Amino acid sequence: MPVFSQVLIKTGDISPGLKLFSRPCREVDPWLRLSRERGKSAMSNANSLTRRRFVATAASAAALVAAPSQSHSEASQTMRTYDTERTTLTPYLLFDGNCLQAMEFYHSCLGGELKVLKVKDSPVKDHMPAEHQEKVLNANLRSGLLEISASDWLHPDRKMARGNMNCLYLSGGMLEALTGLFHKLSDGAEITDPLQQQFFGAYGALNDKFGVRWMFVTGK
Q: Is residue 214 part of a domain?
A: yes
Residues 179 and 144 in one domain: no
Q: Is residue 75 part of a domain?
A: no
Instruction: Name every residue whose Cβ is closer than 8 Å to that of residue 81 and which is 6 or more positions away in sequence.
Output: none
Q: Is residue 105 part of a domain?
A: yes
pLDDT for 33: 61
Residues 87 and 189 in one domain: yes
Residues 88 and 174 in one domain: yes
Domain count, the chain: 3
DSSP state of 6: T
Residues 126 and 203 in one domain: no
Q: Is residue 6 part of a domain?
A: no
Q: What is the mean pLDDT of residues 29-51?
A: 56
Range of the domain at 52: 16-62
126 - beta bridge partners?
A: none
pLDDT at 3 over 70: no
pLDDT at 156 over 50: yes
Residues 115 and 214 in one domain: no
